[in-house]
């Protein structure tokens, strides 16, 4: 990697963002919400300009022979833009994640400790060709008191420029300095951004698994996101077959490209001969390709043979691999070996088996008798989702606004020194929680 010169334009941008973010961090809830409303209004005023820019992006992408799904994501019509602006106002109405007092404790008379949430500082967000993502991200950043450096997909550059121009215009009449929101436009800047650990506090990559892995491997800045979503459904020997069929179909086909869709079905051997023919009919009716291990093929002879690669593949498509296991323990071992620690589910009427599964499976989400597709910040009631994390340490799983803040310990005294509490005549601490 190249060394960042202090004269690099990106360093200057990052410094300016940090400067603006440190002022933003001190603003009241009301001031931040006013800025969010100003953004919504500015986007409404700039509607025509944004839609024109998007048409230009779409024409250029079409000329470049863009793939159809990518084109659909790139396209921003009046309806999508209106929804995105409504989303900005929704963020404005969320509870303020900043200034929450998590600990309030008297250490001794007159010596008070508070742990209080505060913004992280500057977020670096790299997203693909969906231009309205910029709108949502900026509103979440301002709500949580953070500056934000955006890098959108190159196909969406005109749209993003028009959006960010409108946002900065909106902010210019508020307490938030427009420098708090920045847009990078060249791909080369991504690597440089990943090196700015002095100025950027969190990177959120939104894109393919390969891209997220690239980001994770090329930065010392904490990364919020997951490279893989290899989720399993385990149909236990005590499963209710009707629930198992319905949940399998939902978890596979309801949105196969989602990270919380299942890739592998594990079936207890004692229920396999009853369950597998039924699920095969249901899946084939919805055009799902089934790949099975040897024992599955004995029951479903017409399906494809699953190889070892299948167990570690996120298909993101209408394909499902099936493996017969001899026990709950084997199912758990398979999941802990091949799962990506995202979301894992058991179908069973046996509460003891469910308890063991939820306890022993190592994943951000462990589910009993419901679809893995529920793993989502909005469905969890967070009001927003900034990403889904599959790391072991918090924040883990779907992350709402709480993932964009950190905390500080604030201690206030009246001349208190540690010497008073040490040695032969040491004074004791009171350690009394205050409400």
Binding site for its own copies (CB under 8 A): 22, 25-26, 105, 107, 111, 113, 120-121, 201-202, 222, 240, 242-243, 246-247, 249-251, 254, 336, 354, 356, 358-360, 362-371, 373-375, 379-381, 391-394, 396-398, 406-419, 421-422, 429, 431
Residue closer to its own copies, measured from CB, 207 or 222: 222
How buried is 354 (Cβ within 10 angstroms: 0-12 exposed, 13-18 middle, 19+ buried)?
buried
Q: Measured from the CB of residue 404, what is the shortest distance to its own copies in angstroms?
A: 10
Which CA distances in Å does 229 have to 75, 172, 195, 208? 26, 40, 27, 11
Residue closer to its own copies, measured from CB, 166 or 194: 194
Q: Measured from the CB of residue 260, what is the shortest distance to its own copies in angstroms?
A: 9
Residue closer to its own copies, measured from CB, 39 or 111: 111
SS3 label, residue 172: coil
Assess contact for 51 and 78: CB atoms under 8 A: yes
Q: Measured from the CB of residue 8, what is the shortest distance to its own copies in angstroms?
A: 18
Residue 339 has phi, psi (to 5 degrees) of -65, 160
Residue closer to its own copies, measured from CB, 19 or 284: 19
Say how far apart CA 293 and CA 304 lie, in whole Å: 9
How many residues in the chain? 435
Residue closer to its own copies, measured from CB, 59 or 217: 217
Token pair of 200 as six digits: 């950027």
Residue closer to its own copies, measured from CB, 24 or 126: 24
Q: Measured from the CB of residue 95, what is the shortest distance to its own copies in angstroms?
A: 12
Say how far apart CA 387 and CA 371 lie, in whole Å: 19
Residue closer to its own copies, measured from CB, 60 or 175: 175
Q: Measured from the CB of residue 416, what is the shortest distance to its own copies in angstroms?
A: 4
Phi-psi region of 121 (alpha: psi -120 to 50; beta: other; left: phi over 0): left
Q: Measured from the CB of residue 33, what is the shortest distance to its own copies in angstroms?
A: 19
Q: Measured from the CB of residue 59, what is the shortest distance to its own copies in angstroms?
A: 33
Say how far apart CA 347 and CA 354 lie, in whole Å: 8
H helices of 75-131, in order, are 78-93
Q: Measured from the CB of residue 23, what is the shortest distance to its own copies in angstroms?
A: 9
Q: Write the DSSP string, 213-251.
A: HHHHHT-SS-B-S-S---EEEEE-TT--HHHHHHHHHHH
Residue closer to its own copies, measured from CB, 56 or 411: 411
Q: Measured from the CB of residue 317, what is the shortest distance to its own copies in angstroms?
A: 18
SS3 label, residue 427: coil
- Closest listed residue to residue 120, CA positions, set 402, 404, 410, 385: 404
Residue closer to its own copies, measured from CB, 306 or 405: 405
Say how far apart CA 307 and CA 103 lie, in whole Å: 52
Residue closer to its own copies, measured from CB, 87 or 222: 222
Assess contact for 137 and 150: CB atoms under 8 A: yes
Quick one: CA dihedral 417, 421, 426, 430, positive or negative?
Answer: positive
Say how far apart CA 129 and CA 105 lie, in whole Å: 47
| Burial 65-86, CB ≥16 within 10 A → b, else e | ebeeeeeebbbbeeebbeebbe
According to DSSP, residue 195 is labeled: T
Q: Measured from the CB of residue 57, what is the shortest distance to its own copies in angstroms?
A: 29
Q: Measured from the CB of residue 240, what is the shortest distance to its own copies in angstroms?
A: 7
Q: Chain-centre distance of CA 347, in angstroms? A: 26
Residue closer to its own copies, measured from CB, 69 or 359: 359
């Amino acid at each position: 990697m190249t060394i960042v010169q202090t004269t690099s334009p990106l360093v200057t941008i990052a410094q300016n963002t940090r400067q603006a973010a440190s002022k933003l961090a001190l603003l009241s809830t009301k001031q931040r919400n006013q800025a969010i409303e100003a953004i919504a209004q500015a986007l409404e005023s700039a509607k025509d300009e944004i839609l024109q820019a998007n048409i230009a992006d779409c024409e250029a992408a079409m000329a470049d022979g863009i793939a159809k799904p990518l084109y659909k994501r790139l396209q921003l019509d009046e309806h999508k833009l209106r929804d995105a602006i409504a989303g900005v106002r929704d963020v404005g109405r969320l509870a303020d994640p900043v200034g929450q007092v998590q600990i309030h404790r008297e250490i001794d008379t007159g010596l008070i400790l508070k742990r209080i949430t505060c913004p992280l500082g500057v977020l670096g967000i790299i997203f693909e060709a969906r231009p309205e993502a910029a709108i949502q991200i900026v509103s979440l950043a301002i709500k949580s008191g953070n500056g934000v450096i955006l890098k959108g997909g190159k196909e969406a550059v005109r749209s993003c420029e028009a959006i960010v121009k409108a946002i900065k215009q909106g902010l210019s009449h508020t307490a938030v300095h427009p420098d708090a929101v920045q847009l990078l436009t060249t791909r080369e800047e991504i690597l440089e951004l990943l090196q700015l650990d002095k100025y950027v506090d969190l990177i959120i990559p939104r894109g393919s698994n390969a891209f997220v892995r690239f980001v994770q491997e090329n930065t010392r800045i904490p990364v919020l996101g997951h490279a893989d979503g290899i989720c399993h459904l385990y149909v236990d020997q005590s499963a209710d077959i009707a629930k198992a069929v319905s949940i399998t179909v939902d978890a596979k086909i309801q949105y196969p490209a989602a990270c919380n869709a299942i890739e592998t079905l594990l079936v207890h051997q004692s229920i396999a001969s009853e369950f597998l023919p039924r699920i095969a009919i249901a899946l084939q009716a919805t055009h799902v390709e089934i790949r099975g291990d040897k024992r599955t093929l004995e029951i479903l002879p017409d399906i494809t043979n699953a190889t070892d690669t299948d167990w570690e593949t996120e298909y993101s498509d209408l394909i499902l691999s099936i493996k017969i296991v001899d026990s709950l323990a084997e199912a758990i071992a398979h999941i802990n070996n091949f799962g990506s620690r995202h979301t894992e589910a058991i179908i069973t009427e046996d509460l003891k088996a469910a308890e063991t599964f939820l306890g022993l499976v190592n994943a951000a989400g462990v589910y009993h008798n419901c679809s893995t597709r529920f793993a989502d910040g909005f469905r969890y009631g967070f009001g927003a989702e900034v990403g889904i994390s599959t790391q072991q340490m918090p924040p883990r799983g779907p992350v709402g606004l709480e993932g964009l803040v950190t905390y500080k310990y604030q201690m206030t005294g009246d001349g208190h020194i540690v010497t008073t509490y040490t040695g032969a005549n040491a004074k004791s601490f009171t350690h009394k929680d205050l409400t």
